[in-house]
Amino acid sequence: MNNHLENPTQFFNSLNGSLSGGQIVHSKTCIADMAGYYHNESARSSLDQAKIVYRVAAHFAEKPGTTGGLFFGISTVFPGLVGQEYFMTKGHFHAIRNRSEYYWCIQGEGVLIFMDEDGNCYAEKLQQGSLHYIPRKVAHRLANTGNEPLVVGACWPSDAGHDYTTITQLGFSIRLLNIDGQPQLQKVR
C-alpha cells in the first residue's frame, strides 16, 4: 500500500465556476463559428466575427469515446444578442443518443432549451443553483438572457460525443428571442 496522500491537481471554484490545474482543456466559440445557427444570419454576419459567444473549460480524465467514464465541464455564455436572439450555444444531440447529462447553473440567468428526436421542444429557466437533467436522446442548448455571463456546470458520459450536424440541418423548433426586453419562446415549425 502507498500511504502517501496525493495533493489535488485540479481545482473547481464553486463561486465563479472557474476550473484550473492540469488536464483542463479550454475552448471558445466566436460569432464567426456560429454561421447558420441564428435565425437572423445577416445580423450575425454584421457583428464582430471575433467576438466570443461562449467558452468551455473541461476536465477530460478519459480519452473521448471511453465507455464508463465521465467528463466535467463549465460553459460560460456571454451576454449579447444576434438580432433579437440571445447569445447561445450551438446545441447538440449526443452522438450516442442513449446518453444523458446534468447541467447546473453557477451564475447568471438564462434558459436551457431541450428538443427530442421528434422535434418537440421545451425549456427551463436557469438561475443560480438550479439543477437540470438532460434525458437521453434530447438535444440541449444554453441561452443567456441576462446582462452578466451565464456560467453552467455539466457532467456527461465520456463516450457520449456530440452530434452538431442534426442541429445545423434541422435547427431547434423553438427560438428564444428578446421581445421588448423580455425573453420569449417562439415556435419556428
Residues of this chain that interact with Zn ion (CB under 5 A) are 101
Choose among 29, 68, 88, 89: nearest CA to 156: 68
Give the three cell numbers for residue 185.
Answer: 419562446
Give the three cell numbers for residue 53.
Answer: 459567444
Least distance to ligand F6R from the beta carbon of 7, Å?
27
Query: Which listed range, 5-13, 61-69, 90-98, 120-128, lies at the site for ligand F6R (CB under 6 A)?
Result: 90-98
Q: 9 vs 13, 16, 19, 21, 143, CA distance in Å?
A: 13, 19, 11, 6, 31
Judged by CB under 6 A, the number of residues near ligand F6R is 14
Least distance to ligand F6R from the beta carbon of 5, Å?
31
Residue 89: name its binding partner from Zn ion, ligand F6R, none (Cβ under 5 to 8 Å by kind): ligand F6R
Least distance to ligand F6R from the beta carbon of 76, Å?
9
First to last CA, the chain: 61
Residue 163 has what DSSP assignment? B
**Is 34 within 8 Å of 53 (Cβ atoms)?**
yes
Residue 90: name its binding partner from Zn ion, ligand F6R, none (Cβ under 5 to 8 Å by kind): ligand F6R
Per CB under 6 A, contacts with ligand F6R among 61-80 are 73, 75
* List 85, 101, 109, 159, residue binding ligand F6R (CB under 6 A): 101
